[in-house]
Structure 1
Amino acid sequence: MIDWLLRIASGVGGYLGVFVISVLGNLIPFIPIPYLVAVYLYAALIPGCNPILLGLVSGVGAGFGKLLIYFTSRGVSHIVLSEDTRKRYSRLSSMLGMWGAIAVFLFAATPSPDDVIIVLLGLMGYNPLKFFIGVTAGKVVISILTAYTGMAVAEITGGEFWIELTASIVLFIVVMVVISLIDWEGVLVTLGERGVKGLVDEVKSKGLAAVFFSRKTNKKTRS
């Protein structure tokens, strides 16, 4: 899969190639296509690469890919949802406001399974512009971070491919472990009910670990 993406990027060429693979890597829901690996390798191996421009190009491409999933979900809502469910989802969509965009941003900016919330927002008929801004901003953030990581690892390892690969795998595992420990559901619920100020106040009163890792903390307490 990675070889296929890299061949497409090489065939199209330059940043446009990265844009194309970012669109393709985000077209199919619930099937992870590792387009960020291509972004990482491009940043690590291409001299003179601009990581910010690379991240912007990749993020916008990924946003367009996810937009197709959103519109597909929105289009089939009349088939898979009952009339009552559609009305309820429509009311929820109106209530969400910018929180829907913030939620999709948080999922898109991390290696979290963002297709779940994208499909849900599509079924709800959430505002497409707010959705696109949120998902694209998230994809830009994670793409820029990936590009800078590729450049940094390449510089630290002196361009030794196998050392780069090993360091990247270790770094990826560490990041994934940290992300998996965060209680994303609890954080989003707090944001939806009390806003950013409420989340900050809760962190001040309970501590960062109790808020962001509350699910794990509760399990330990119960045991």
Structure 2
Amino acid sequence: MKRSKKLLITAYVLIASFVAIALIDRNVAESVERLSNALRDWSRNSPTRIHAYFASFLLSIVGNTTIFIPFPYAAVVFIMTSQVGLDPLLLGIVSGIGAAIGETTSYALGYGGGKYLEKRGYAEKFGSLHAFLLEHRKLVPLAIYFFAATPLPDDVLMVPLGMLRYGLMHSLIPCCLGKMTMLLFIGYFGSFVSGLGGYLGEDPVFGIIFDAATIFFVVSMVYIIVEFDWAELLKPKKGWQIQP
């Protein structure tokens, strides 16, 4: 069994065990609820809230500089809005800008490392995309936006764009808009989840179950994003070579 799957199962067991303890001993649920509410109130009224936005900005940059390995920075946005109570509009914009900045590393890799990538076998990985970009240049901004606004790995598009010497700003602007779209959706969804929990009831046991379900959802999404081979959806054609 892969280590990531073991970690996923362990997380599920811990979540289920915590909920079981809260159901058996109501005092545990009430204590956790008081602590959770205190932390949320502090974070929402803290004069250092700007640090949370800055942290999300930095994590979005770092998350998108991870070449070929998806990083669940979007989960940070979800947690920041659902648990900390940050403004989803401002957070989505700030994190989207950070994510787009991080993607410039993939563009730079393609721009300056085409021959190296060919030797490492990445030419086969990016072949069909390279051909598509050459034949349909007018669709490139839309493709960039689509990749940025979905869980698809931007690397498999940004690297070929760098190889083709496609304009950096022409790549960065639709990428930034796409990232903002995705993170705004996630941020507002997190805010909706937080509001739903407050609307359904104040019972501490219910609060524990609801928070556990939220954590379960986030952990599952992180696992899917990290483990799923998104690049396999864009399996390249054979016989393509990087043009000098």
**TM-score category (smaller protein):** 0.5 to 0.7
Q: Which residue of 1 aligns with 2:183?
A: 143
The answer on 1:43 being equivalent to 2:81 is: yes
- The 2-side partners of 1:90 and 1:157 are apart by 46
1:1-223 correspondence to structure 2 within 5 Å: 13-47=51-85, 49-80=86-117, 96-158=136-198, 160=207, 162-167=209-214
Q: Which has the higher contact order (CA 8 A, sep 6+)?
A: 2
What residue identity is the alignment partner of 2:145?
F
- The 1-side partners of 2:195 and 2:216 are apart by 16
- The 2-side partners of 1:167 and 1:71 are apart by 37
The question of whether the paired residues in 1 share the 8 Å contact of 2:60 and 2:73 is answered with yes
Name the TM-score, length of structure 2 as normaliser: 0.57
Q: Structure 1, residues 103-145: CA drift from partner, whole Å, max 9, x if none?
A: 0110110111222111121212112111101111111001101
What SS does structure 1 have at the residue aligned with 2:113?
Answer: helix
Shift of the 29–161 alpha-carbon distance from structure 1 to 2, 3 Å rule, reads farther
Q: Structure 1, residues 29-69: CA drift from partner, whole Å, max 9, x if none?
A: 1111111111111111223x221111000000000000121
Shift of the 50–29 alpha-carbon distance from structure 1 to 2, 3 Å rule, reads same
Shift of the 112–76 alpha-carbon distance from structure 1 to 2, 3 Å rule, reads same
Shift of the 157–38 alpha-carbon distance from structure 1 to 2, 3 Å rule, reads same
What SS does structure 2 have at the residue aligned with 1:30?
Answer: coil
- The 2-side partners of 1:69 and 1:161 are apart by 41
Q: Kindly name which structure, 1 or 2, has the bigger radius of gyration based on alpha carbons.
A: 2
Q: What is the aligned residue count? A: 167
The question of whether the paired residues in 1 share the 8 Å contact of 2:107 and 2:162 is answered with yes
The question of whether the paired residues in 1 share the 8 Å contact of 2:149 and 2:178 is answered with yes
The question of whether the paired residues in 2 share the 8 Å contact of 1:93 and 1:126 is answered with no
What SS does structure 2 have at the residue aligned with 1:139?
Answer: helix
The alpha-carbon deviation at position 166 of structure 1 amounts to 2.1
Structure 2: unaligned runs, 5 residues or longer: 1-47, 124-128, 235-244
The question of whether the paired residues in 2 share the 8 Å contact of 1:92 and 1:124 is answered with no
The alpha-carbon deviation at position 148 of structure 1 amounts to 0.5
Q: Give the superposed CA RMSD.
A: 3.6
